[in-house]
Structures are given as C-alpha cells and as structure tokens.
Amino acid sequence: MFTVRISVGRAFCAAICSFAPLLVSAQYALVQGPVGQVTDADVMADAATRISDTARATVLSRPDNVGQLASNVYVQRAMAVEAERRGLTAGRESAAALALAREKAMADLYLAEFDKNHQPSEAALLAYAQSTYRAVDGKQLDAPERTRVRHILLKQKSPETRARIEQILSDARAGKDFAQLAKDNSEDTGSVAQGGDIGFVTEGSTVVPFEEAMKGLKTPGDLSDVVETQFGYHIIRLEERRSAGKRGFDEVREQLLMQARTALLREARAKEAQRLQEGMKVNEAAVNTFSSKFKPSDSIR
C-alpha cells in the first residue's frame, strides 16, 4: 500500500487557496464526503508534489494507491475546513503562511514551465558530460575486468525444452541473427527487448555455471553450449571483453548525461533567480530590527 503523510500546512491551503495546479481536466470525483469531493485533477496535482516524475505513472497505475492518495487529499480538505471554522486562518502569520503556500505552488508551476523551455541541447549535454569525464579522478572510474554478453533463456527444465534450446543453438551456429533469436525465444524479461544483451558483468556477479561458460568464450561472436543453471537453460554469446582499468566514456555516458542535464538546468535556474532579483533591495535596518527580537537576553548569574 502506498501511504502519504498528511501535512497540516498543506491541508489548510488545499481548501482555502483559490489556486490549484490542475494537471488534467477534472472529469469525475474519486472521493466524496461532507466537505466536498476529490477529483482526478486533485489527485494529479497532489501526486505531482509528492511523487517523482519517473515513479508517478507506476504509482498511479495501481487503484489502491490512487484510493489512498484521494483519501489523503480528502482528509487535508477536511482539516482545512475545520481550521477555517475555528478561526485558525485569521491571524497575521496564518494569512502569510497561506499566501506563501499559494506563491510556492505558482512558483513550482513557473519552474516546471521554465525547465521545459530551457532544456539543454544534445550538443551541450554531450560537451558537459565529456568535460566532466575528463575532469573526474581516474580512480573514480576504475573498473575490474568485465564481459558483455547476450543470452537466451528458457526457464522450464524438461526434455522438450532442452530439445528446443538445442535447436535454437543450432540455428545460431548456422548464422541466424542471435539478437533476433533472443527476441523471438528468450524468457528473460530483463533482456529480451535488448536482444538478450545483459550489458557488462564482472566476476562473481552471475551464477557459477553461467560465469564458467562466459570464461570459456574467447572471441566476440563465440557461442557457448547449452548452459544449465537454477534459472533454466541458457545460450551465451560473447560480445566484448574489457580489461581492468578506467571505464570508457560510453560505459558511463548515460549517467554523465543525466548529471549534465541536472547541472545545466541548475545553472539556468540560478541565472533566472539573479534576473528576478534585479532591482531588489534589502532593508538592512528592518532586517536587524527583526533579527534582534530573537537574540538571547543577557542573563544574570
């Protein structure tokens, strides 16, 4: 079950602020009760603040998660109604907190739009990633000997399955495209879409029979015999073997590109913040007066 902690501060804003970032058009109520209803738009807006972009679709694809999120929003709304009924929103600091919460939501929308319009080009990302790669201490990129292979896996162990994988091996040795054979036959869900490619593996990272079979392959393109492990029957094809040493740029490319995107967007945001602060002046006298209220008074011993 996906659970979300309720923030009382956000709860007040949920019902009282006139602004809410609607990411989809409200079409139906997910939850209803005495204080109103929670729509699909409410849940999408709430999820956008709580769940990362990469995980959001996975979380929202489960009805129990959606129900929990909608219930949490409803409780927030009920708390907000209670807070207003008890007069908790009338104070000067409460009003400021609500105004700041509204401004924060609007600023988040602005930043989302800003990021969308300031995505770095592929050339800029690549240049930044390559610069980072050159600057990184070589020890951080050291790697042991690693081997890249493709494999085909049939999980069920039976004479019929054994005969089938022997035929697939015969087809591969006859010159049929191994990647296509993997896509058509392999039952390894983690690699089938990549034509059986499991990437680079190091010593000790696979089960013993699989590792021993890999060690017996000497030249890219070599095929193993049928290998039996606790997972089923495998055929292994050697793609590449690299000696211990510094990882090549292509091995860390995707990671560095992700870091580059984050860094370049951070730089763009910093420049935008500087632009927005143009003409801003700090009232030092007022700052000092405010700060002085919190200084500890001298105590008499």
What's the mean pLDDT when you consider all of the chain? 88
Q: Mapping DSSP to helix (H, G, I), strand (E, B) and coil, where does residue 227 land?
A: strand
Confidence of residue 143 (pLDDT cuts 50, 70, 90): confident
Structural domain containing residue 237: 146-242
Let me know if residue 300 belongs to a domain. Answer: no
Select from 113, 96, 39 the least CA-distant residue to 73.
39
Are 50 and 12 found together in one domain?
A: yes
Q: Note whether 28 and 78 are same-domain residues.
A: yes
Domain boundary pick from 242, 263, 280 = 242
Say yes or no: 90 and 35 in one domain. Answer: yes
Quick check: is 247 in a domain?
no
Does residue 189 share a domain with residue 107?
no
Q: Are residues 99 and 175 in the same domain?
A: no
**Segment 212-260, tens digit of pLDDT:** 999 999 999 999 999 999 999 999 999 999 888 888 898 889 999 999 9
The mean pLDDT of 124-149, rounded to a whole number, is: 89
- Evaluate whether residue 272 is within a structural domain: no
Contacts of 256 (CB under 8 A, 6+ apart): 129, 130, 132, 133, 249
Q: How far apart are CA 239 and CA 129, in angstroms?
A: 26
* 11 pLDDT above the threshold of 80: no
148 or 27, which is more confident = 148
Q: Say if residue 22's pLDDT is above 80.
A: no
Q: Is the pLDDT of residue 97 over 60?
A: yes
Position 6 pLDDT exceeds 50? no
pLDDT band at residue 193 using 50, 70 and 90 as cut-offs: very high
Q: Based on the structure, what is the number of domains in the chain?
A: 2
Is the same domain home to 100 and 157?
Answer: no
Query: Is 163 domain-assigned?
Result: yes
In a domain? residue 252:
no
| pLDDT of res. 15 | 37
> What is the CATH number for 216?
3.10.50.40
The pTM is what?
0.59
User: Residue 65 and residue 70: Cα distance in Å, rounded?
Assistant: 9
Straight-line distance from the first to the last Cα atom of the chain, in angstroms, rounded to the nearest whole number: 57
The residue among 226, 242, 258 that closes a domain is 242
Q: Is 135 contained in some domain?
A: no
Residue 274 lies in a domain: no
pLDDT of 246: 81
pLDDT at 49: 86
Which pLDDT does position 257 carry in this prediction? Answer: 96
Note whether residue 133 is domain-resident: no
